[in-house]
Amino acid sequence: MSNIWPLQRDCLAFYGDPRQPGWLHANTVDVSCPWPLKMGELPIAHILIHKKCAESLTRVLSSIWDATGRSLETIKRLRYDRYDGSYNLRLIRGSAAAMSMHAFAAAIDWDAADNAQHSRTHLFQDDSLLVAKFKEDGWIWGGDWSPGSIDAMHVQAARVHA
Ligand SMILES: [Zn+2]
């Protein structure tokens, strides 16, 4: 089952305005990951995500976990235990006004060390398990973007193109 996520330009209507007081509390939930995550050396207990993405994220993570045979060793070999954040109230890099999908808590960064933004050499590929499973649920992968904006660590529940 694949979701059709909103276009980025429609995210204010779909996800609400994260600049409004109370938005974060009212619109986000914690999703637990079936395997332990770390941000650097810091253990991460939950992924903070927009509640409209929570069911999908839970399904994707569970599907990745099952595909590894629920093997933490495999997860670590693939570096899927390396997490680099979801919610972050900020603009798109290089933009004067457009909010990042991270501002809507509708984007997640994974293993930034091996998938640096704008780097054309990256660990994650189109057929990587993590990328494939997010895409199956309709998420957009930043590795598909043009060379100037490629962002292979990044997945988001919003479409850039109709
Ligand atoms: Zn990102």
The pTM of this model reads 0.95
Give per-residue pLDDT as tens, 47-102.
999 999 999 999 999 999 999 999 999 999 999 999 999 999 988 877 877 899 99
- What residues are neighbours of ligand 1 (ion), with CB under 5 Å? 107, 109, 154
CA-nearest of 138, 132, 102 to 117 is 102
C-alpha 43 – ligand 1 centre gap (Å):
19
pLDDT of res. 94: 79
- Please indicate whether residue 33 or residue 2 has the higher confidence score (pLDDT): 33
C-alpha 2 – ligand 1 centre gap (Å):
21
How many of the other CB atoms lie within 10 Å of CB of 40?
Answer: 11
Residue 133 has pLDDT above 80, yes or no: yes
pLDDT of res. 118: 87
Ranges of each domain in the chain: 8-156
C-alpha 108 – ligand 1 centre gap (Å):
6
Give per-residue pLDDT as tens, 23-47.
999 999 999 999 999 999 999 999 9
pLDDT of res. 114: 96
pLDDT of res. 96: 78
Tell me, what DSSP letter sits at residue 91? B
pLDDT of res. 92: 84
pLDDT of res. 2: 62
Give per-residue pLDDT as tens, 135-145.
999 999 999 99
Q: How far is CA 70 from the centre of its chain?
A: 21
CA-nearest of 109, 119, 118, 102 to 158 is 102
Give per-residue pLDDT as tens, 8-20.
999 999 999 999 9
**CB hemisphere CA count around 11 (13 angstroms):** 24
Q: Give me the count of residues in the chain.
A: 162
C-alpha 37 – ligand 1 centre gap (Å):
17
C-alpha 45 – ligand 1 centre gap (Å):
19
